[in-house]
Structure formats: structure tokens, C-alpha cells
């Protein structure tokens, strides 16, 4: 028996040593340039761009196979630029008119015109289709073709950011799509520069569409294969083993082991939502104490290193309409925090902190660090890190009985507009809102006004004022935002801040 024990230990140790070894590599020829291999972090649903709202689907299809009316430009300061619409104007407070590009065809030969565009938008809006993208067209009441190339979209009130809401809505060929979602998914026919050449359990392959109306640079990559690796380590290993050229959602920990990393500032902020309507945190002194107890700079540096970014004390990032450049992070002042806690009579009292696992970058670690910081200043913290489904249930059922602190991730990736997170976390009817509207009536009034304001400068001022009031209320305590990371192996490309890449911008370095 003793011999067996020794042998067991030795066997395990030898496997462990082999695993930790950095034996020199065998044949390392690098990935072939016959085909671009792209690894996604999650499996893509069926290739119908209208039904499921999923990042992998956007990463494969949007502006590659399918196109929308408008799109975001690449780079850190994105602008809304034409795609299938050449221009657009708000012809009345509740009407937008889009002029469409003429002479465009879908890859299956159907013509793209105003009727096709109206069909596409109405398909998403139709409740019978159960589209998960319908919410992006929530303000739209009617979509009609006015002539062959003019599309008219009516809204239920002035909607100054309607064009932004359309960036994720792709145009689909009506006749093919009317035969069913499966027909479209099996033969996705957009207007984009790439067509789907193969889809199976291994992944999705694209090849350039020879009849694309636009310019396809001579050095653009002709063949692309998207594969899925949900496991972070497996996805990173693809780069190290030269089995992929480009990897989405590179985990932060992989940075040191991967030679080429491309980043762009993300659009999500990790923050704490405080219960302003009930429990201990309804006292603004307690909320201010929580804000002052956390050293967000150290937290950001410790968890994210060079890929962390500050938030200037706001729930949206620079570049998003509504980001107020005059605001700064809350001051780290633990002594001040202790005084406030004493004044509020909250010393030693227990507060509940809900974290969520596997949803936000470093979310679990950040929640644990916050719990530690709050205990340092005199709170007793009951930390509960829950799964995503439980977290959704908690965060989207806000009430005076909600936990004092819930970890959240306000994002602006759909519209690059502050209203995306204000509508959720600040509006009176917001799905996750516990904003103290009664104490800050001006914020709600400005949110209502911004929704209808057609003058861009005035609207921006409204949103920045709301940011300031959210800041003063301590209803949300922003912690950090972070860069999006891609691992690369011999390619360059131009990313977008919504975590997509127009594949026409990708180039082999040695191609």
C-alpha cells in the first residue's frame, strides 16, 4: 500500500512537472495565410441576424455578410457613417427619412430598395418573430417605403438618436426571408462584401463576394473561418500554437503569454448600484461613505493593469454622448468615510453586496475587493457572488427591499449614447433603476427632455447634466472601465468599440 501511495504521488507529480515545463517548441511554421482563422468566445446562433441578439452573430455577420442602413466607423472616436443609406434627416419631429443607395442587390439576386428596408425593420418589430432586437426599435411606430429609394420611419415621439438605434439592424432579402428564418439562416444573403461559403459544426466560413458593389482592396483577405472556443485557456492556446490569426475576447491574464495584442477602449463601466430607496443606503451619507471607501485607482491598477481605464466618476465612458468631462472620480478618503458612517449611525451595521460570476471582466474579484474596502471603514459586509441568472433576477427587480449594493455593468455599446444606461439605471421606469428621483427631479425632467431634443448640443448638455446629478446622488459608484482585447498572430485590423471588426480591414502582415 505504501508503494502504491508513493507511485500515485510520483505519477501525479511527473504529470504536473510536464505540464509546467516550457519545452522548446516542435515544428512552428506559423498559421497559413490561405485562410484567416478567427476564434470567437461564444458559439454563434443560427445565421439569421434578426432573431437572436448575440455578440458572436454580430462579429460574423454585421457589415461583413449583411449591412444596415448606417454603421459606426472604426477607431476610438467612432462616427455614424452611411452604409446602405446615403443620407438621413429628421423631416418632422417624429419622422426620419432615409435615402437609400441605388442599384444594390442582395447576394441571392433580390434587389435592395425601400420595400426591402421596410420589410427588414418591420420583421424585427413584429412580435410574432420574437426578435430579441425589437427593443432597439422600441420608439418606432411605422416604417414605410416612399418611392423606390426613400424609407420613412415614424416614431411615437421625437427620437433624436433613431439612426444610432439602427446600427445593429441588418437588411435581409424579403423573398428568401418570407420562406422562414431557417431558409435565411441556411443561406444568409446580405449585401456585404463577404458571403457565407460554409457553415457546419466546426464553424462558419466566409469568402469575398465577387459582385460586391464597393471597393475590395487587392490585399483584403479572401477566405475567413470563424471558430468557437468558449474556454479562455483554449482560445489563448490557439495563438500560442499558431492555430489562429485573431482571437476575440482575449482574457487579461493571457496578455503575457501572447506576443501581439490589439486593444480599443470598451464601452462598459463596472459599477455598484446602491439602493437609494430603502435599507441603510437610502441615507446619502452612507452612499457617500461607500464611494469614499474605495480606492478606484488602485483597484483598477491591481485588477486590470494597463488595460484598465478610469471613469471620471460616471457610468459611461469618454466618447459616449453624455460623458461629462468636468467630473472626476470620487475622492478616496477612508477617514471621511468613517466619519460619515458614524454620523449616519451605520457603524458595524451589515450591508449586503451582490456580485456576479462570469458576467463582467474581473467582476468577482472586484466585488471581493470592494467588500474588503468597506469592512476597513467600519461596515460589516455580507458578500454573495451569484450566478448570472440569479443576478439578472435581482438587478432587474429593483425595489426598496433590494440589496444595498449590487454589482452592475452599465454599457453604451448599442447606441454610444448615455441614454442607453440612463434609461436602465436612472429613469423612473428604468428596468434596474433605484435612482432617487424624488431628491433629484431635475434629472428625470432632463432625461425626458433629452429623449425628444433634436438640437444635438442641447441634448448633449442635458445628458451631461444628468451625469452630474447621478454623480452627486452617489446612486451609482463607478469602479472602472476596460479595454477590449484581441490577440493576433501576423495580422492587423481596425476594430470598433462595439467589439466587432469589419473583415475588409484585416490584413496579413506578411501577405
Partner 1 sequence: MAKYVLARVSFFGMVILGATFVVFLVLHGLADPARIALPIGSTDEEVDTFRDEMGLNDPFLVQYLRFIANALQGDFNNSLWLGGSNIDIVLDRIPVTLVLALVAIGIAGLVGVFLGMLAALRAGTWVDDVISGIGYALTSISDVWLSLVLILVFAVNLHWFATSGFGLDPRLVVLPVLALALRPVGQVTQVTRAAMLGVSKQEYAILARAKGMPRLRVAFVHLLKNAAPPILTFLVYEMGRLFAGTAVVVESIFAWPGVGSLAVGALERGDIFLIQTLVVVVAVIVATLNLFADVLHMILDRRIVRQG
CB closer to partner 1, 37 vs 100: 37
CB of 342 to partner 1, least distance (A): 37
CB of 96 to partner 1, least distance (A): 20
5 binds partner 1 (CB under 8 A): yes
Count residues near partner 1 (CB under 8 A).
70
Q: Which strand (E) or helix (H) includes residue 372?
A: helix 363-376
CB of 416 to partner 1, least distance (A): 14
Site string for partner 1, 113-152 (x = CB under 8 A): --------------xx-x-x-xxx-x--------------
393 binds partner 1 (CB under 8 A): yes
402 binds partner 1 (CB under 8 A): no
107 binds partner 1 (CB under 8 A): no
CB of 211 to partner 1, least distance (A): 28
498 binds partner 1 (CB under 8 A): no
180 binds partner 1 (CB under 8 A): no
CB closer to partner 1, 42 vs 145: 42
**Phi and psi (nearest 5°) for 272?**
-110, 130
Q: Site for partner 1 (CB under 8 A): which residue of 33, 35, 46, 365?
A: 46
Q: Site for partner 1 (CB under 8 A): which residue of 183, 216, 220, 237?
A: 237
18 binds partner 1 (CB under 8 A): yes
Q: Which strand (E) or helix (H) includes residue 273?
A: strand 260-274
CB closer to partner 1, 230 vs 298: 230
CB closer to partner 1, 345 vs 358: 358
Per this entry, what is the length of the chain?
511
The terminus-to-terminus CA distance of the chain in angstroms comes to 61
399 binds partner 1 (CB under 8 A): no
Q: How would you class 310 by CB atoms within 10 Å of its CB: exposed for 0-12, middle for 13-18, buried for 19 or more?
A: middle
For residue 194, CA distances in Å to 43, 205, 269 come to 20, 10, 33
| Window of 187-195, 209-217, 221-229, 489-497 that interacts with partner 1 by CB under 8 A | 221-229
CB of 3 to partner 1, least distance (A): 4
CB of 360 to partner 1, least distance (A): 12
| Window of 178-186, 343-351, 373-381, 484-492 that interacts with partner 1 by CB under 8 A | 178-186
d(CA 152, CA 173): 19
d(CA 33, CA 401): 58
Q: Using H for helix, E for strand and C for coil, what is the string for 413-432? A: CCCCECHHHHHHHCCCCCCC
CB closer to partner 1, 28 vs 399: 28
12 binds partner 1 (CB under 8 A): yes
Q: Is 440 helix (H, G, I), strand (E, B) or coil?
A: coil
CB of 182 to partner 1, least distance (A): 7
392 binds partner 1 (CB under 8 A): yes
Q: Site for partner 1 (CB under 8 A): which residue of 33, 35, 45, 295?
A: 45
CB closer to partner 1, 173 vs 409: 409
Residue 275's nearest CA partner among 354, 367, 336, 337 is 354
> Of 251-290, which residues contact partner 1 (CB under 8 A)?
none
Dump the DSSP string for 202-258.
SEEEEEE-TT-SS---TTS--EEEEEE--SHHHHHHHHHTT--SEESS--GGGGGG-
510 binds partner 1 (CB under 8 A): no
Q: What is the dihedral of CA 446, 447, 450, 452, to 10 degrees?
A: -110
CB closer to partner 1, 261 vs 340: 261
Q: Site for partner 1 (CB under 8 A): which residue of 34, 87, 103, 201?
A: 201
21 binds partner 1 (CB under 8 A): yes
Q: Site for partner 1 (CB under 8 A): which residue of 150, 243, 375, 382?
A: 243
Longest dimension (CA), the chain: 88
Site string for partner 1, 323-362 (x = CB under 8 A): -----------------------------------x----
For residue 277, CA distances in Å to 62, 172, 403 come to 41, 45, 11
Half-sphere exposure (Cβ direction) of 346: Cα atoms closer than 13 Å: 29
Q: Is 196 helix (H, G, I), strand (E, B) or coil?
A: strand
Dump the DSSP string for 25-76.
PS------SSSEEEEESS----S-TTT---HHHHHHHBTTTB--SEEEPSSS
Dump the DSSP string for 442-511.
HHHHHHHHHHH---HHHHHHHHHHHHHHHHHHTSEEEEEEEEEEEEESSEE----TTS---GGG-EETT-
Instruction: Catalog residues that contact partner 1 under the rule CB under 8 A.
Output: 3-8, 10-12, 15-16, 18-19, 21-28, 42-43, 45-46, 48, 51-54, 127-128, 130, 132, 134-136, 138, 181-182, 185, 201-202, 227-231, 233-234, 237-238, 240-241, 243, 358, 388-390, 392-393, 396, 411, 414, 420, 423-424, 429, 431-432
Amino acid at each position: 500500500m505504501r508503494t502504491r501511495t508513493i507511485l500515485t504521488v510520483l505519477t501525479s507529480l511527473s504529470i504536473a512537472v510536464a505540464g509546467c515545463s516550457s519545452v522548446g517548441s516542435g515544428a512552428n511554421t506559423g498559421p497559413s495565410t490561405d485562410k484567416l482563422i478567427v476564434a470567437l468566445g461564444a458559439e454563434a446562433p443560427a445565421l439569421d441576424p434578426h432573431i437572436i441578439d448575440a455578440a458572436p452573430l454580430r462579429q460574423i455577420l454585421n457589415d461583413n455578410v449583411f449591412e444596415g442602413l448606417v454603421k459606426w466607423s472604426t477607431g476610438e472616436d467612432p462616427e455614424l457613417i452611411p452604409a446602405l443609406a446615403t443620407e438621413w434627416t429628421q423631416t418632422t419631429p417624429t419622422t426620419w427619412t432615409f435615402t437609400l443607395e441605388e442599384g444594390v442587390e442582395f447576394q441571392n439576386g433580390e434587389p435592395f430598395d425601400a420595400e426591402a428596408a421596410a420589410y427588414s425593420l418591420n420583421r424585427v418589430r413584429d412580435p410574432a418573430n420574437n426578435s430579441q432586437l425589437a427593443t432597439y426599435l422600441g420608439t418606432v411606430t411605422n416604417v414605410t417605403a416612399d418611392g423606390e429609394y426613400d424609407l420613412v420611419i415614424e416614431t411615437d415621439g421625437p427620437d433624436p438618436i433613431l439612426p444610432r438605434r439602427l446600427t445593429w439592424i441588418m437588411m435581409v432579402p424579403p423573398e428568401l426571408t418570407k420562406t422562414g428564418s431557417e431558409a435565411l439562416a441556411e443561406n444568409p444573403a446580405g449585401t456585404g462584401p463577404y458571403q457565407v461559403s460554409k457553415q457546419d459544426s466546426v464553424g462558419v466560413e466566409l469568402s469575398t463576394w465577387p459582385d460586391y458593389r464597393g471597393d475590395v482592396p487587392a490585399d483584403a483577405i479572401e477566405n475567413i473561418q470563424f471558430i468557437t472556443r468558449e474556454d479562455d485557456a483554449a482560445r489563448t492556446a490557439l495563438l500560442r500554437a499558431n492555430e489562429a490569426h485573431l482571437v476575440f475576447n482575449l482574457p487579461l491574464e493571457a496578455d503575457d503569454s501572447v506576443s501581439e495584442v490589439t486593444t480599443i477602449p470598451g464601452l462598459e463601466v463596472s459599477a455598484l448600484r446602491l439602493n437609494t430607496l430603502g435599507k441603510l443606503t437610502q441615507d446619502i451619507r452612507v452612499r457617500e461613505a461607500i464611494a469614499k471607501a474605495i480606492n478606484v485607482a488602485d483597484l483598477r491598477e491591481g485588477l486590470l493593469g494597463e488595460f484598465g481605464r478610469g471613469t471620471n466618476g460616471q457610468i459611461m465612458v469618454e466618447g459616449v454622448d453624455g460623458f461629462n468631462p468636468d467630473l472626476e472620480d470620487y475622492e478616496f478618503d477612508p477617514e471621511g468615510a468613517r466619519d460619515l458612517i458614524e454620523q449616519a449611525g451605520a457603524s458595524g451595521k451589515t450591508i449586503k453586496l451582490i456580485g456576479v460570476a462570469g458576467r463582467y471582466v474581473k467582476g468577482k474579484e472586484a466585488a471581493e475587493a470592494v467588500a474588503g474596502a468597506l469592512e476597513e471603514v467600519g461596515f460589516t459586509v455580507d458578500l454573495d457572488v451569484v450566478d448570472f441568472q440569479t443576478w439578472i433576477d435581482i438587478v432587474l427587480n429593483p425595489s426598496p427591499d433590494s440589496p444595498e449594493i449590487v454589482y452592475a455593468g452599465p454599457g453604451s455599446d448599442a447606441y454610444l449614447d448615455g441614454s442607453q444606461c440612463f434609461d436602465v439605471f436612472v429613469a423612473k421606469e428604468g428596468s434596474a433603476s433605484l435612482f432617487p428621483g424624488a431628491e433629484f427631479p431635475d434629472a428625470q425632467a432632463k432625461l425626458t427632455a433629452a429623449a425628444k431634443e433634436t438640437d444635438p448640443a442641447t441634448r448633449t448638455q442635458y445628458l451631461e447634466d444628468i451625469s452630474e446629478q447621478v454623480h452627486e446622488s452617489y446612486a451609482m459608484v463607478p469602479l472602472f472601465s476596460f479595454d477590449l482585447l484581441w490577440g493576433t498572430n501576423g495580422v492587423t485590423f481596425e476594430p470598433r468599440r462595439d467589439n466587432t471588426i469589419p473583415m475588409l480591414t484585416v490584413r496579413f502582415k506578411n501577405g
